[in-house]
A and B are shown apart, each in its own frame.
Chain A
Amino acid sequence: MITLEDIRLSEYTLEHLPRLEELRRLSFVRKPEICIERARCITKYLKYRDDPTDSPELRQAKKVHHFLRRKAARFHDCNLLAGTTTSKALGAPLFPEFFALSLWPELETVSTREKNPQALSAEDARELNQLIFPFWMDRSVLEVARTRFDNPKCLKLFESLVFFIAGKAGCISHCVPTYTPMLEKGLVGLIDEATAREAEASQAGGGVNSRQVQFYRAIKIALQGIIEYAGHLADEAAYQARIIDDPELKKEFADMAEVCRQVPAHPARSFREAVNAIWICQIGMHAENINMAMSPGRLDQVLYPYFRRDMDTGRLDIAGAMELIGCLWLKISDNVIMVPEASEEMFGGAGTVPAITLGGVDSQGEDAVNDLTYLMLRVTELLKIRDPNVNARYHYEKNSDDYRRRVAEVIINTRAVPAFFNDVANIKALCGQGETLAHARDYAVIGCVELASSGRDYPASSSIMLNLSAAMEMALYGGRRPITGETQIGPATAPAAQITSFEQFWEAFKQQLDWLIDQAVQTNEILGAVHQEMMPSPLLSAFFEGPMQNGRDLIQGGALYNSSGATHIGFADTVDSLSAIESAVFARQKVSFTELVQAMENDFSGADGEKLRLYLKNQTPKYGTEDPIARKNARNLVGHLFRTYQSRTNYRGGKYRPAYWTMTNHAGLGGISGAMPNGRKSGGLFASGITPVSGAAPELTACLNAVAELGGEQVPGCWALNIKYTPEDDVAAMSQRFAQTIEAYFRAGGQQVQFNIMDYAMLKDAKKHPENYPELMVRVSGYSAYFKDLNDLMKDELITRTQYGLTDGRAVPFNDD
């Protein structure tokens, strides 16, 4: 029920919330620093204290506990919430189990590099070089996998980076924990539950050292680490309260001390305690799991009982609640990923993408939008910061028009957030994966766009990122790719010159695609097996339904639902290439297959090549239009990928789920891929996510319909559709049209859409004069980034994305002057 008189909360601005204004200012001026605290602590632990006879879960729990009880309690600013992800105000933590060693060549230069420098002190660099990194050289997950599985071909394919990327490291954290049991019982309550279950398991014949018993012990040890860290926060806050003269600050620290004495160890008694408890637990999760997309989920639902109670008793007012929400948003963005210079091409500008999900329906299928939803929207609108990644669920039969319009308004005012998710299509997609209706209705977004039932579904949603253009090239060249030369990569299908029908080519393409999927799946399974031994998540397991009940860690399949996600790069370019071959080579016989491949090999050079390229680009069927060939090929590709992945079972007993989001990989991989049959020249960027190729879809309605019809059960991992709208002066009128367009797209089946409200000229200017746009936030492909932080490839991709006018629904012509 909505009790707010003004859902826009217009009277609450940053001027009236000076704390948030100051914290926001700091968030833009702070420079990221590399924090070695965790790396130092766990390395020392493993060197001197680890007991290899313990179960993997117990070893991990002891390691995490060791770190958390030693983690420094820091207060960097006037944020009302206690706790920091790292020891720095804006820190990049190191996870040597995964990629931290890729920083090694840069130890001397990372602080001063041109693009996105991350400060590292000389002392810390020396410690990394002499003590920490050497220990991990043969111990990182990838190296253990290589050794154990004798350096298999699939791992080599992964390391070449041009076929698929295995995102196993990050997908440990690609999930949505549930905080409700912790808020209601406190961690002490969860520890008591684990104690009881440990006793049961022991008596049930497992004995005191069975794997199950050790798992429960591991949960207790890991959670105790969070409690001890909160205790240190309380001590430090109390000390600050004692030594500070300023009465206001003194009270703030005293209040924080009191909060940390209560939560998360004991049940939350107030909105403030609930918010801080969630934050401290999120810090605990990052002590164990990498800071990539650990998503807090539906906070407007989880926190609502505490908000309502405090509001009703007069303990809290709107401004106070907004201040706490803002403090949480800014805390969530207190950490970044350590990105070596080499990865800037792929991931430059990305935050850690912790997703927050608002609105939608509840588990009974009723409207779940509440006052807190609107407060969180308002805070998002005011702060305009990259993280957290805020998403709005919308159910067109249950949620109000006011809500839909308000979300549209926030998008227009921030130019980029939140992204919009269609409840009807997404609930259907999750039900198609065997989730109960009530569980599917309680879905939240992970990271970029992926879907998961909150605290029940462990979807490892970034397990595979597959390059579809690689399969296309392999089908054209009989299992080879120009970029890898004469090496036979995939099966030796007939090369293009010997193919006599589109159906034959489609079969060859599917054969190459399936072979690549097999390699990617095999890689994921290998890494999964190593993760089960090296990187279980007993702490995270305590925040899910399933592990506690059945005595199995998340990585062992302990969650109620287990799956692995596979996303795809180059979807639109691949569909358009299939359609161009079907149309130009076989239906119209405009060009022979041999001539087409030769022209591609020459990158369409020369007058004839350019003539052919223009024909392919402008006269063949395009995904994003109503052309039946393009629509059929898009449907066939989505359908084939769905069936192929669903026929594979992962190491946790769940299915693989296809998705279509690309982060910045569409730029990186496009930049090194050869010419394609759709007239794309060599090195041209691929379209992002499931978005049609820039310039290929001139009519907005047709574009949205073409995408929407692919949605639902066959895309359980969801997609990122990027749409760029011309900004308009009349925000109210624009919001209305905007909201109507969303409605139509969702009713047609569209699962997700995100926007950039900006035009070509503005983005070109922002590229030329970044100093004039220090805070310009853009949607990339599922996540937000500051435009200035992106590499030039990505900037160009954003500039050239099709821009539509909402008034006439037509694409604005792009002039590359």
Chain B
Amino acid sequence: MEIPSIHLRHLWQRFQQTLETEAAEQFLSLLLNIMRLMFAIDHDYRENIRKFDGRYQFNSKDGKMTVGAIFSDGRLEVEERVIDNPHITVSFRDGRTLFNFLLAPKQDILGSMLRQDVQTDGNLNYLYRFGFLAKQLQLMMTPG
């Protein structure tokens, strides 16, 4: 599909740049913001979270990042704070390790967990669902 707007395309370019540089800690915020926009403008993508309420807490172990992602019936809110009652909390060493965990072409989910690069606390099924949403976004943004 066509990337639907200039603003989104610009965000996606920035997102890709963060992965090629050492600024990987920006990866999560950019990913969530692109996701949020995509839910707003793409009906099919929004269908994935219709009737879905999910609360995610992401924390980097160095304390530089604390991001809450709240899905609520077709919408996504992103908040840079500790949220109440998350279904799952994901703690990660840094943005790079989170990227490897979620989106790298050669994903290393188990390796990330075994090495304790990424630790989870809570309902893993919510993480699996988030993984699907992230992966689908990536496939939409990089067709072919």
* Chain A interface residues (CB < 8 Å from chain B): 101-109, 114, 129-130, 133-134, 136-138, 140, 142-143, 146, 151, 156, 159-162, 340-346, 483-485, 668-669, 671-672
Q: Is B122 part of the binding interface, using a Cβ–Cβ cutoff of 8 Å?
A: yes
**A137 B123 Cβ-Cβ under 8 A:** yes
B125/A105 in contact, CB under 8 A: no
- Report the bound CA distance from A391 to B104 in whole Å: 41
B109 sits at the interface (CB 8 A)? yes
Q: Tell me whether B79 is interfacial, beta carbon within 8 Å.
A: no
| Contact with A104, one of B51, B111, B116, B128 (Cβ below 8 angstroms) | B128
Closest to B127 in A: A105
Given contact pairs A151-B122, A341-B107, A672 touches B128 in the complex (Cβ within 8 A): no
A137–B132 CA distance with the chains assembled, in angstroms: 14
**Residue among A105, A162, A671 with the highest chain B CB neighbour number at 10 A:** A105
A668→B110 contact, CB < 8 A: yes
Contact of B116 among A142, A341, A343, A483 (CB under 8 A): A483
A484/B116 in contact, CB under 8 A:
yes
**Is B77 close to A, CB under 8 A?**
no
Given the complex of chains A and B, what is the CA–CA distance between A346 and B113 in angstroms? 12
**What residue of chain B has the Cβ atom nearest to residue A133's Cβ?**
B129
User: Is B123 within 8 A of A134, CB to CB?
Assistant: no
Q: Which residue of A lies closest to B107 (CB)?
A: A341
Identify which of residues 119-140 in chain B touch chain A, using a CB-to-CB cut-off of 8 Å.
119-126, 128-129, 131-132, 134-136, 139
> For the complex, would chain A's binding face be called helix, strand, loop or mixed by DSSP majority?
helix
* Residue pair B110, A130 in contact (C-beta under 8 Å): no
- Select one of B52, B121, B122 contacting A134, CB under 8 A: B52
Complex CA–CA separation, A341 to B112 (angstroms):
13
Bound form: Cα–Cα A137–B113 in Å:
21
Q: Would you give the shortest CB distance from A318 to chain B, in whole angstroms?
A: 47
Cβ contacts under 8 Å, B132 to chain A: 104-105, 107-108, 129
Residue of B48, B109, B116, B121 near A342 (CB, 8 A) is B109
Which of B51, B111, B125, B126: most chain A Cβ within 10 A?
B125
Residue B114, interface by CB 8 Å = yes
8 Å CB interface, B76-104 against A:
102
- Extra inter-chain contacts (4) besides given A105-B109, A137-B123, CB under 8 Å: A105-B135, A142-B124, A161-B113, A671-B111
**Contacting B114 at CB < 8 Å: which of A142, A340, A344, A669?**
A669
Given the interface pairs A151-B122, A341-B109, A342-B110, the reply to whether A102 lies near B135 with Cβ below 8 Å is no
Residues from chain B with Cβ under 8 Å of A672 in the complex? 111, 114-115
Q: Is the pair B110, A105 in contact by a Cβ cutoff of 8 Å?
A: no
- Residues of the A chain whose Cβ atoms lie less than 8 Å from the Cβ of B47: 130
**Can you list 13 A-B pairs with a CB-CB distance of less than 8 A?**
A105-B109, A106-B135, A137-B129, A143-B123, A146-B122, A151-B121, A160-B113, A161-B114, A162-B114, A342-B109, A342-B110, A485-B116, A669-B114
Q: Which 9 pairs from chain A and chain B are nearest by CB?
A: A105-B131, A342-B109, A104-B128, A342-B110, A672-B114, A137-B125, A104-B132, A101-B125, A345-B110
Interface of B is mostly: helix
Residues of A within 8 A of B51 (CB): 134
A-B contact count (CB 8 A): 91
A572 to B69 alpha-carbon distance, docked (Å) = 46
Shortest C-beta distance, A669 to chain B (Å), equals: 7
Chain B residues lying within 8 Å of A138, measured Cβ to Cβ, are 123, 125
A156:B109 contact, CB within 8 angstroms: no
* Chain A positions within 8 Å of B102 at CB level: 105
Give, as a whole number of angstroms, the nearest-CB distance from B93 to chain A. 11
Tell whether, in the assembled complex, residue A102 and residue B121 are in contact, meaning their CB atoms are under 8 Å apart: no
Question: A345 and B123 in contact (CB under 8 A), knowing A104-B128, A107-B132?
Answer: no
CB-CB nearest in chain A for B131: A105
Interface size on B, residues (CB 8 A): 31
A341 to B104, CA, bound (A): 12
How far is B111's CA from A344's CA once the two chains are assembled, in angstroms?
10
Complex CA distance for A129 and B130, rounded to whole angstroms: 12
Nearest chain-A residue to B139 (Cβ)? A108
List residues of chain B with CB within 8 A of the CB of A151.
121-122
Residue numbers in A under 8 Å from B123 (CB-CB): 137-138, 143, 146
Q: A105-B131, A341-B107, A668-B114 are in contact. Are A159 and B139 (CB under 8 A)?
A: no
Within the complex, the shortest CB–CB distance from B131 to chain A, in Å, comes to 3
Bound state CA distance, A130 and B46, in angstroms? Answer: 12
> Which A residue sits closest to B120, measured CB to CB?
A159
Q: How far is the CA of A22 from the CA of B110 in the complex (A)?
A: 38
A137→B114 CA distance, assembly (Å): 23
Question: Which residues of chain A are within 8 angstroms of B106 by Cβ–Cβ distance?
Answer: 114
Task: Flag if A108 contacts B126 (CB, 8 Å).
Answer: no
Please state if A160 and B129 are interface contacts (CB–CB under 8 Å): no
Chain A residue contacts of B136, Cβ below 8 A: 108
Whole-angstrom distance between the Cβ of B35 and the nearest chain A Cβ: 14
A residues in contact with B135, CB < 8 Å? 105-106, 108-109
* Complex Cα gap A101–B134 (Å): 15
Which residues of chain A are near B115, meaning CB under 8 Å? 483, 672
Q: How far is the CB of A401 from chain B (nearest CB, A)?
A: 47
Q: Which of B113, B122, B128, B131 has the most CB of A within 10 A?
A: B128
Contacts of A136 in B (CB 8 A): 125
- Chain B residue with minimal CB distance to A128? B132
* Cα of A346 to Cα of B110 in the assembled complex, Å: 9
- Bound Cα distance from A108 to B133, whole angstroms: 10
Contact residues in A for B120 (Cβ distance below 8 Å): 159
Q: Smallest distance from the beta carbon of B120 to chain A beta carbons, Å? A: 7
Looking at A104, A161, A668, the one whose CB has the most chain B CB atoms below 10 A away is A104
Contact B116 A140 (CB under 8 A): no
Which residues from chain B contact A156 at a C-beta distance below 8 Å? 121
State in angstroms the CA–CA spacing of A121 and B101 once bound together.
Answer: 25
Taking CB atoms, residues of chain A closer than 8 Å to B125 are 101, 104, 133, 136-138, 140, 143
Known: A104-B131, A107-B132, A484-B116. A137 touches B126 (CB 8 A): yes
- Chain B residue at minimum C-beta to C-beta distance from A341: B107
Complex Cα–Cα for A293 and B136 (A): 34
Question: Complex: how many Å from CA A354 to CA B106?
Answer: 31
Residue of B nearest to A482 (CB): B116
Q: Within the complex, what minimum Cβ distance (angstroms) separates B97 from chain A?
A: 14
Give B70 Cβ to nearest chain A Cβ, in Å.
16
User: In the docked arrangement, what's the CA distance between A130 and B48, Å?
Assistant: 7
A669 to B136, CA, bound (A): 31
How long is the Cα–Cα vector from A140 to B135 in the complex, in angstroms?
23
The answer for the CA separation of A484 and B119 in the assembled complex, in Å, is 10
- A711 CB → nearest B CB, Å: 32
Inter-chain CA distance A114–B110, complex, in Å, is 16
A622 to B133, CA, bound (A): 51
B63 CB to nearest A CB, Å: 14
Taking the closest CB of chain A, its distance from the CB of B115, in whole angstroms, is 5
Contact A160 B116 (CB under 8 A): yes
- Chain A residue numbers with a CB within 8 Å of B129 are 101, 104, 133-134, 137
Task: Report the separation of the CA atoms of residues A483 and B107 in the bound assembly, to the nearest whole angstrom.
Answer: 21
Nearest CB on A from B134, distance (A): 8
Residues of chain B within 8 A (CB-CB) of A345 are 110-111, 114
Q: Which residue of chain A has its CB nearest to the CB of B113?
A: A161
**CB < 8 Å neighbour of B128 from A105, A161, A341, A669:** A105
A159–B106 Cα distance when bound, in Å, is: 22
